[in-house]
Amino acid sequence: MINYNTLNRILIIRLSSLGDILLSTPLVRSLKKKYSHIHIDFLLREEYRDIYKHNPYINKLFILERESKIIPEELSSTKYDLIIDLQNNFRSAGIKKKIKSEEVRVFNKRTIDKLLLVNFKINKLKDAEQIPVRYANSLENFQLDEERLDLFTGDIKPVIKGKEKKYTCLPARQVGFAPGSRHFTKTWPKDYYVSLGKKLNDEGYTIVLFGGKDDKDLCKEMSKEIPGSIDLSNDNDLLSTAVNMKECMAVVCNDSGLMHAACSMKVPVLAFFGSTVREFGFTPFRNKNLILENNTLTCRPCSHIGRAHCPKKHFKCMLEVTPELAFSKLIELINS
């Protein structure tokens, strides 16, 4: 049993990915606010450092290079009272062996339950809580506070560059689109985003496109097709993306890391869930949102992370969620 009052130093491990690490921020904040004496260190992969770069609730941020098996020397020489492993995979297990600790707690990924749901449609996750709560459940006798996700952006300002203009702030009625995803089956079709963008444009909204390095081509193509849109895709500059998202009335997105980034900035989100489902726990956390999904299909979920193609070859989970439906629901979300 953990005695929090006697803990002096904690290490939290969550190496990747963007959304998963953002979902760890309520745990870090809740621990620090309730037990301010505890020194909290955090270990993540180098490309995600911006998530905790300005976070006031951690004492030390440790960075692990993407393919490296060598942990920072200070980590291996430090003794922790508690390690909280939110990654729970072979790599994090190897890291823990190199660090001295009195106690270890590990996040329950419920891997078997996810496989049962994906492969046999046996749903033991009906009452599963959202991931931030499940992270907190890794610790006994501990509950999260009532706040949302955190992402501290420092002194970055929303300086926007358009094709011909420079904006010191976004236009008054702007809607963000984050159309990218690592997996095809988690991505609402590009043509649907364009159609929705044109409908919003006709109603006087300006579309602002967000994405990282892998989304730049997609955003560039869409910006040419949506009149007056602003392409703010970049080379994975998360903090600039987040600051500019905050200027939007809402963000339309897939089940992706940028969905959680928008939530961390307290911006309402309209999210499309295709091959994945709510039961996996990655829904918007304590943020105004609306999820659009096709609940008529017996093939969902076909994956807990996403696929490169639709195994049924019809992709109805996304294709039957139309731009017309998205438009009406988005207007409801904005006006609610």
Q: What is the pLDDT of residues 254-274, one digit of tens each?
A: 999 999 999 999 999 999 999
Domain parsing of the chain, residue ranges: 4-136, 160-335
pLDDT, residue 165, reads: 45
Going by C-alpha positions, the residue among 201, 221, 187 that lies closest to residue 327 is 201
pLDDT digits (tens, 9 = 90+) for 59-112: 999 999 988 888 999 999 999 999 999 999 999 999 999 999 999 999 999 999
Q: HSE on the CB side for 75, CA within 13 Å?
A: 25
Determine the pLDDT at residue 172: 67
Which residues of the chain fall short of a pLDDT of 70? 159-172
What is the model's pLDDT at position 162? 41
Instruction: Specify the pLDDT at position 163.
Output: 40
Domain 4-136 is of which CATH architecture? 3-Layer(aba) Sandwich (3.40)
Q: Give pLDDT, residue 66.
A: 85
In the numeric block, the tokens 């992402």 are attached to 151
Calpha distance 40→34 (Å, rounded):
12
Model-level pTM? 0.95
| Distance (Å, whole) CA 297 – CA 101 | 47
Note the pLDDT of residue 171.
Answer: 61
Long-range residue pairs from 103-112, CB within 8 A, at least 24 positions apart, any chain? 103/2, 105/2, 105/138, 105/139, 106/138, 107/134, 107/135, 107/138, 108/134, 108/137, 108/138
* Correct CATH for 160-335 of 3.40.50.2000, 3.40.50.170, 1.10.260.40, 2.30.130.10: 3.40.50.2000
